[in-house]
Amino acid sequence: MATTTTTTIKDVNEKPHFPEQVTGMYILARALKNIGIKNVYGLVGIPITEAGYEIQGQGIKFVTFRHEQQAGMAAATEGYLTRTPGVLMTVSSLGMLNGLTATANATVNCYPMIQISGSTDPTMVDMNMGTYEQLDQFNAAKPYVKAAFRCSKAEDIPAAVNRAYRAAITGRPGGVYIDMTTPALGQVMNAADAEKLFYEPVDLYSEVAPNKASVDRAVELLTSAKRPAILLGKGAAYAQTDDNIKKLIETYNIPYLPMSMAKGLMPDDGPLSALSCRSTIMEQADVVMVVGARINWMLSFGKGKWNPATKFIQLDVEPQEIDRNVPIAAPVVGDLNLSLEAILAGLEGKKMAADPSWVTSLQAETKEKNGKFETRLADAAKLMPMNHWSALSAIKPILAANPDVVLINEGANTLDDTRDTISMELPRHRVDCATWSIMGMGMGSAIGAAVATGKSVVAIEGDSAFGFSGMDFSTICRFKLPVTVVILNNGGIYNGIGKPLDNTTDPAPTTLDIHARYDKLGDAFGARTYYVTTPDELSKALTEAISSKEPCLIDVQLAADAGKESGHIGYLNPTPLIPIEV
Ligand code: ADP
Ligand code: MG
């Protein structure tokens, strides 16, 4: 006869056995609540499972993932979009390292976030006793973060959380790590004593003002320019100083060129947008004001195509950014909001020396290039099977009609072609693989954007890119988020026509699955799904998906030969050895 076993599930909402006592996990949850954390992204297990429940108990939304890296991407995206740190919570060892990849990426991109990982008793780790999930996480994290703290006692937790928050957002924002040891998490304290640990940090973000001499120098240079331009980076979008940027550009009639995540800070299709004139700006502008952008690989280090006579004004909160690759004629170090206010005050009543034909010639160039681009899209729309441009010809008008949708974008050709095709109208509505140009931020960033903003999200993903985070599509479904994932499937990394060398019958290193039905993956989790092969079908599916405000997945069938090796950055390959026809 079968016996029935009753499993007793611990009622976590039950009051502690001794109501006057609390644990380190409770203190952690309270500390997060006290500093204003609204969402935590993570994945539980030993030793943080109960902490997850305590966090929910505080009324904080705990978004639980299938992989820590994606939870970290979500936290980082919240940090970027809200200018407050996103919080990632992981278990020890591999969970911590999985999350650390996202935290490192956040640091590189200047996104504020806090990774909190449970860890084994450090006294055992230090003695190399071979304890459960033994890893010196604290020291492993240090090279990848702005600051790291280790809590060995519950008493340290509130201060660690407050200091991590301040570190993440102060100066140049970035990732911060808190090593939350098992002894600290499990420590039991008298509730009244614990209560005394919490404090309200004063002046959490103190804006740093630029010095007057630097502002005067910048104003002098800008007003003397014959062919000025403003280069906007994602630091400018992050800084949320949109009105000052608009005022500077519109009052002084200065053309602007946005980096990819700065798109929308000023409208891509605005009269002063020089988006289509990147080379002309590099070759002809005499003064370029760089606002919240780094002159790194994405800007050819300020060399190459750049006119050697170009003078740079650079506005950045990080003094070490100045002169990194080119000498900066007028550095303005400070928080962008204060720097722009000071520059605007300095410009008051001054006349610009700009040549009026500069703007009109950029406008003429824009008109011509945009005309050619439209023809290219219209031609691609007739192709069967589709390529990236055919698909984007269908997506473009739909996103234009829904400007408040947050766009997440990753891939190689999918990234490049989407960035070039989709115009942004509003600030902080585009998140992509950013400074490292990584793959594997898609589902996490889509979730972070949806949770942090409450807006609808569309993620445009290459099939390869989607593979890195695809399982967390299930998180989108579990949390019923208004996210539509559009997968442009050309069956491979770059494309699906790689040919292996003669000695193997294995797939080529770049080959994936041209016939995969990604829509069925969505079916598994109850999403609305679509499989489309024409621009018309895609157009109908995307319109319906966005208006549903439900989790949706659209599998877009492209030709296997659509796309080229490494998209626009093929030149970075050391040797063009892989036999791919481009
Ligand atoms: P992009 O990739 O768009 O070119 P980067 O990430 O390279 O942008 O550069 C962003 C820059 O913005 C960084 O150098 C960072 O220090 C700076 N930054 C971030 N926040 C602020 C702020 N509030 N004030 C001034 N500069 C900021
Ligand atoms: Mg592909």
461 Cα–ligand 2 center, Å: 9
Of 229 and 573, more confident: 229
pLDDT at 471 exceeding the cut of 80: yes
Nearest C-alpha to atom 6 of ligand 1 is from which residue? 109
Q: What percent of the chain has pLDDT over 90?
A: 93
Which tens digit of pLDDT belongs to each residue from 543-577? 999 999 999 999 999 999 999 888 888 888 886 55
- Judged by its nearest atom, the ligand closest to the C-alpha of residue 146 is 1
The pick from 84, 110, 240, 313 for probing ligand 1's pocket by mutation, whose C-beta has the most ligand atoms within 8 angstroms, reads 110
Q: What was the pLDDT predicted at 565?
A: 85
- Judged by its nearest atom, the ligand closest to the C-alpha of residue 493 is 2
pLDDT at 579 exceeding the cut of 80: no
110 lines ligand 1 (CB under 6 A): yes
The pick from 336, 419, 430 for probing ligand 1's pocket by mutation, whose C-beta has the most ligand atoms within 8 angstroms, reads 336
Residues 6+ apart with CB under 8 A from 131: 120, 121, 124, 125
Structure tokens at 186: 């499990």
Q: In what order do the strands lie in the sheet with 430-432?
A: 430-432, 406-410, 457-462, 483-489, 552-557, 528-532
Q: What is the mean pLDDT of residues 482-509?
A: 95
pLDDT at 580 exceeding the cut of 50: no
pLDDT at 382 exceeding the cut of 60: yes
233 lines ligand 1 (CB under 6 A): yes
541 lines ligand 1 (CB under 6 A): no
295 lines ligand 1 (CB under 6 A): no
Which tens digit of pLDDT belongs to each residue from 3-53? 444 445 555 555 555 579 999 999 999 999 999 999 999 999 999 999 999
294 lines ligand 1 (CB under 6 A): yes
Threshold 0.85, pTM exceeds = yes
245 Cα–ligand 1 center, Å: 14
Which tens digit of pLDDT belongs to each residue from 298-355? 999 999 999 999 999 999 999 999 999 999 999 999 999 999 999 999 999 999 999 9
Nearest C-alpha to atom 19 of ligand 1 is from which residue? 235
Between CA 276 and CA 257 the distance in angstroms is 9
- Judged by its nearest atom, the ligand closest to the C-alpha of residue 563 is 2
Nearest to 434 by CA among 80, 127, 97: 80
Q: How confident is the model at residue 2 (pLDDT cuts 50, 70, 90)?
A: very low
Q: Are 243 and 204 in contact (CB under 8 A)?
A: no
172 lines ligand 1 (CB under 6 A): yes
Closest atom of ligand 1 to CA, residue 172: 16
Q: What was the pLDDT predicted at 366?
A: 98
110 Cα–ligand 1 center, Å: 7
Q: What was the pLDDT predicted at 369?
A: 97
Q: What was the pLDDT predicted at 10?
A: 54
The position carrying tokens 């195509």 is 305
Q: What is the mean pLDDT of residues 418-433?
A: 98
Nearest to 118 by CA among 44, 201, 64, 16: 44
Q: What was the pLDDT predicted at 399?
A: 98
Mean pLDDT over each residue of the chain, to the nearest integer = 95
The position carrying tokens 């889509």 is 446
Instruction: Provide the greatest CA pair distance for the chain.
Output: 95
Which tens digit of pLDDT belongs to each residue from 159-185? 999 999 999 999 999 999 999 999 999
Q: What is the mean pLDDT of residues 364-375?
A: 97
Between CA 388 and CA 567 the distance in angstroms is 11
Q: What was the pLDDT predicted at 571?
A: 82
